Amino acid sequence: MVREDSFIGIDLGGTQLRVAAIDAAGRILDRRAAPVDRAGGVRAVIGQMEALIAKVRRPDTAVVGIGVPGAFDPGQGLVLDIPALAGWTAIPLATEIEARTGLPTVLENDAKVAALGEWRFGAGRGIADFAYLTISTGIGGAFVVGDRLVRGFRGLAGEVGHTRITDRSAPCSCGHEGCWEAVASGTALARAARMAVDRQPRSRLAALAGEAPATGEDVTRAAREGCPVALTLLREEAAWLAAGLVNVQHAFSPERVVLGGGVSQALDLMLADIREAMRRRLLPGHEVPDIASSKLGDDAGLIGAAVHAKESR
């Protein structure tokens, strides 16, 4: 008899907790979400996970995978630190979920599970050398090299957002300066947009932002309407993205690069600039890789966490 197992993926973000059951083909069978109970702390959030698992769980559910936005110990199932959530230090999360649900539970880094989702069921399907980068609040990354997801010693591999890319004073979320994410993330784009609005208060970008601080989404929208201020911002963003992608290419040589996160929604507006800048910088004889947007979008991490659970059995 064929076993029709299902697998639960959990995407723990700084603001949203999302839980889904998927089948072996990567289809979402059921999904639930809740705002992370930040005030309630670790206990409350683990309780939220338990409650959402109970809602999506099916009789054939085999295992749970959790994408962790921070450092963890996969062997012990221990969350070591989540910068975006207070109190998450040395939390035996996998053991807790196992005790409450009776389901084997595994942890993996959030960018790595998103890459796994895209690799198995999204824009990286069938590609043996593949890079996934999420360009949002920060820059996260994960790499598949020779058909294997690269974890490295203690799982740090892929944190390319914190490779140093410029000498200019650009403070990063990690406490240092000049990191790729400090100049190329959605946060950096929004910061540049706010400064541009101050300089160009009559621009379409300023009009779209209105009274609120300009966002990366405002930039994309204004650029699509032909706003020269927004188009300049995206040209600068493309240059910073290309600078980091050239480093990625020289380090891992992916055949395809998949970009997720909010900034990737403007990829079509930046792609020609990115490709041209990369072409100029790559070693002679090498080609710019295929660069595509995420296919699973916001669900990459959710599906990927379940895929990780499935493949960890």
Helix 41-56 × helix 93-101 angle, to 10°: 40
Instruction: Tell the smallest beta-carbon distance from residue 240 to Zn ion (Å).
Output: 14
**CA-CA distance, 114 to 225, in Å (whole number)?**
31
Q: How far is the CB of 162 from Zn ion (least distance, A)?
A: 4
Query: Is 26 or 141 the residue whose CB approaches Zn ion more closely?
Result: 141
User: Helix 186-199 vs helix 228-252: angle between axes, to the nearest 10 degrees?
Assistant: 150
Q: What is the per-residue DSSP string for 215-235?
A: -HHHHHHHHHTT-HHHHHHHH
- Smallest separation, CB 10 to Zn ion (Å): 26
CB of 167 to Zn ion, least distance (A): 14
Q: How far is the CB of 69 from Zn ion (least distance, A)?
A: 15
Cβ nearer to Zn ion, comparing 162 with 221:
162
Q: Does 302 bind Zn ion (CB under 5 A)?
A: no
Q: Which is nearer to Zn ion, 131 or 179 (CB)?
A: 179
162 is an interface residue for Zn ion by CB under 5 A: yes
Nearer to Zn ion, 114 or 172 (CB): 172
Cβ nearer to Zn ion, comparing 139 with 309:
139
Whose Cβ is closer to Zn ion: residue 123's or residue 179's?
A: 179
Q: Are 107 and 97 in contact (CB under 8 A)?
A: no
Stretch that binds Zn ion, among 7-15, 147-155, 160-168, 190-198 (CB under 5 A): 160-168
**x/- binding map, residues 235-274, to Zn ion, per CB under 5 A?**
----------------------------------------
Q: Stretches 158-166, 198-206, 243-251, 286-294: which one binds Zn ion (CB under 5 A)?
A: 158-166
163 touches Zn ion (CB under 5 A): no
Number of chain positions touching Zn ion (CB under 5 A): 4
CB of 178 to Zn ion, least distance (A): 8
Site for Zn ion in 168-187 (CB under 5 A): 172, 174, 179
Q: Is 282 in the site for Zn ion (CB under 5 A)?
A: no
Nearer to Zn ion, 179 or 243 (CB): 179
C-beta neighbour count of 17 within 10 angstroms:
19
Q: Which residues contact 225 (CB under 8 A, 6 or more apart)?
A: 204
CB nearer to Zn ion: give 174 or 292: 174
Stretch that binds Zn ion, among 56-64, 161-169, 248-256, 301-309 (CB under 5 A): 161-169
Which residues here bind Zn ion, judged by CB under 5 A? Answer: 162, 172, 174, 179
